[in-house]
Structure formats: structure tokens, C-alpha cells
A = this chain, B = another copy of it.
């Protein structure tokens, strides 16, 4: 209970202030941050200078902005943002955060802009690259609007919440790590902005570029392979949008001293079979173990991206990265690297299996699968409970090009709760997300 002359604070506020209970405090009305004047100028349609953007981001990272003010800033930026402003935003986001430093002159990373369910290639690329011997300290986010992020899926296999010292030590010993980036504070401003972007579902090119590049630079990466899936239900839907986004990534990365190789991939349908943490982890391990029924598209996709990462190695002859990646996977070297990484992070003791409640979504008529809607599949998997319920998700039994008869199973929905299963089934029965021609 709070007495007279006392104030109560939430746990988060106590953490931020770094004060113990019982501390004597003075309170004063907060003055609105001066940088709000710059936000007003942005709303008025002006382009801001580097110093102005930097002042805004400093205040955002220091929790001086209300959600209302952040929304005003983000929506004004969504209206228009120059290339120079995007670069300034990226730099400002790096400047207010923590930075990791590595001994190696070559620190590689691989990143996908997201939007394609099951596209869990990082967990195959990283062990391949580590087996080759490049330094690859991979920090990932948890899912924001998708059924699983790399951190959520990796967490099925190992602890991903690593303090900076352990992360550094694991990389020193094993070349790589697959950790959750939230602990390390690489871009605290971005974390604050996301709290508003998510409920408003704001997702602009400029914010995406600043968010991704700032986190890579802060993580100490020098070389990045960036995967942009293009498809009718992907984040990027046309070739011209893809090229515009590529150029923006290249411009900002170059000025931040980061070498970037942008790869456009086929984002026409989900990748692999599993959607949701447990089933994605199963697919990843099947590929690393060279199991005969491992999803081929996930394997091909990952090896191609790993090849591009290996091509950054000056010791590799131009264009031979792909063959090297294939060899490291086929020989079991990548699997061994993954097992070392898992052990170093702390293997998950409980063997997780797909949710024991399940239902099948069936073809209503015979024909060829013409298209699979990535957004729909993601929504069904989320309704089933992914990513919070790690065992929830979808197993895709047939992909684009496959032939089905009426009544054949298109996919299986797994859940741990009846409510989750019912919600997902209801959504799938409205529209399963499969077009059968």
C-alpha cells in the first residue's frame, strides 16, 4: 500500500530508474522533450536534418515520448522520408544503443525481412558458416506479427536468452551463436518504436531499413546477406518495390560501413513444411541431419543463402561459396556445429513435440495447388497459439504445384488448447489459404 508522501511504481519503472524500494525521490512535472518541435516540422512536411533526427531518437530511447507522440512521428515519417533521413535515423538508432565488438575483421550475418511462414533458414545458414570458420554472432528477434521468429524456434532446442559475456564467449569458442537480441540492447530506440508500430501495424520500407541495418551495425557485423522474398502475399509484392527496397538497403548500409548482398527469393508460398516453433525446429534439424524427407525447398533456400555468406570469405574462390555450403551440410559438419552451439547455449531438456490436439484441412475438390496465401497461413498458425504456444502451428502436407484429390489433406493444424484449435479451424474454414486450380 502507498501512504501519504509515497509513490508506487511498476517493476519496469523500478528497473529503468535503477532505484530500490524505499529510495527518497523528488518528483516534478516532466517537460515535453524539445525534439517534439522537430516532429511537428516533420508533420508539416519538412525533411529533417541529422541533428534533429538524432535528438528525436535520443528522446525516444530515453522513454521521453508518449505513445501518442511516437505514433505522430512514425506516421509523419510514413508520409515521406528522404534517403538522407533514413540514413540519419539508422545512425541515430545505433548511437543510442549498445554495440558489440569482435576481434575478427570479417563478421558475417544473414537476415530475412520476413513475411514467409516456415522460412527458418538462419538456423541452417549459421551452423554451415560456423563450420566453415567464419564469425557469425547471430542475434534474432522473437515474432512480432508472424507465427514464429528465429529466436522462438531456436528456443525449442536451446536457451536463447544469453547475457553479453556468455554470447561473446560462445562466439569465441564456436564462431557462432543463435541468440535472442532483446537482452543486449542493440537498438533500444527501435524497441520503443516497435511498441507503437505493432498495434498500428506500421511497416514502412524506411523504418524497416533503419531497424535492420542499425541492429546489424550495433551487433558488429561487417558483411550481411539480406533475403528479400518477393511474392503476391509476401511483404514485397512487385519487382519494382523489391528494387526500390534493395537500393535503400544498399545506400544506407554503404554509408554505415556495412557490406550488404541483397538476394531476391521466391516468396510465392511458405517455405518448408512446419509453421510454428516446434515444427520449424523439426524441419531445420531434418535438413541438418540430411534426412531423406527433409523439406527440399528449405534446404535449397538455406544452402543458397549460406553460399552467398561464404562468398564473403576472401579465401573462397569467387562463386564457390555455394558448393562449399553444400559440402559442409552433406558431410555432417554443419550438424556438428549446430550441436556444439546448442550445447554451449544450453540444450533444452524437454523434448518438445507438435501439439497433441489437431485437425486436418482438406481439399474441397481435385486439382493442382495454384497458390498458397502466406498471410492466411500465418494467421491460422497464430490463432492456433503460435508462437507463445511453441507446439502450436501448421504442418503443410502439399505445396504449390502438388496435385490433390477431393478430401486430401492440405495441412494439419496443431494446438495445445481446444480454444486455439477451434479459433484456427474457424479461420481456416472461412478460407484455407489454398487455391486449387
- Report if A194 contacts B (CB, 8 A): no
Query: Of B72, B196, B199, B201, which is within 8 A of A75 by CB?
Result: B72
Chain B residues with CB under 8 Å of A32's CB are 199
In the assembly, what is the distance between CA of A78 and CA of B79, in Å?
9
A232 to chain B: closest CB distance in Å?
18
A244 at the B interface (CB under 8 A): no
List the B side residues contacting A71 at CB < 8 Å. Answer: 68-69, 71-72, 75
Cα–Cα distance between A78 and B76 once the two chains are bound (Å) = 8
- Is A397 an interface residue, CB under 8 A from the partner? no
Q: Which of B36, B68, B70, B79 contacts A196 (CB 8 A)?
A: B68
Residues of B within 8 A of A66 (CB): 67
Closest B residue to A1 by CB, please name it.
Answer: B1
CB-based closest 10 A-B pairs: A79-B79, A75-B75, A67-B68, A71-B71, A68-B71, A71-B72, A72-B75, A43-B78, A68-B68, A75-B76
**Contact indicator A43/B199 (Cβ below 8 Å):** no
A71 to B45, CA, bound (A): 16
Range of interface residues on A (Cβ < 8 Å):
20 to 34
Q: How far is the CB of A301 from chain B (nearest CB, A)?
A: 30
Identical chains bound together, number? 2
Tell whether A254 is near chain B: CB-to-CB under 8 Å.
no
Q: Which A residues form the contact surface with B (CB < 8 A)? A: 32, 36, 39-40, 43-45, 66-72, 74-76, 78-79, 196, 199-202
Contact of A201 with B72 at beta-carbon distance under 8 Å, contacts A67-B66, A79-B79 already known: no
CB distance from A38 to the nearest CB of B (A): 13
In the complex, are the beta carbons of B78 and A200 less than 8 A apart? no
Nearest chain B CB to A426 CB, angstrom units = 15
- Say yes or no: A200 contacts B72, CB within 8 Å: yes
Residue of B nearest to A42 (CB): B75
Given A66-B67, A70-B68, check contact A200 B75 (CB 8 Å): no
Partner of A40, one of B40, B69, B201: B201
A76 surroundings in chain B (CB, below 8 A): 75, 78-79
A196 closest partner in B (C-beta)? B68
Specify the chain B residue showing the minimal Cβ separation from A195. Answer: B68
How many whole Å from A419's CB to the nearest CB in chain B?
A: 13
- Cα distance, A138 to B39, chains bound together (Å): 36
Please report the C-alpha to C-alpha distance between residue A349 and residue B236 in the assembled complex, in whole angstroms.
69
Task: Give complex CA distance A44, B40 in Å.
Answer: 20
Query: Which listed residue (B67, B75, B201) contacts A67, Cβ 8 A?
Result: B67
- The complex places the Cα of A71 from the Cα of B75 at a distance, in Å, of 8
CB-nearest residue of chain B to A45: B79
Closest residue of chain B to A74, judged by CB? Answer: B72
| Complex interface: chain B residues within 8 A of A69 (CB) | 71, 199-200
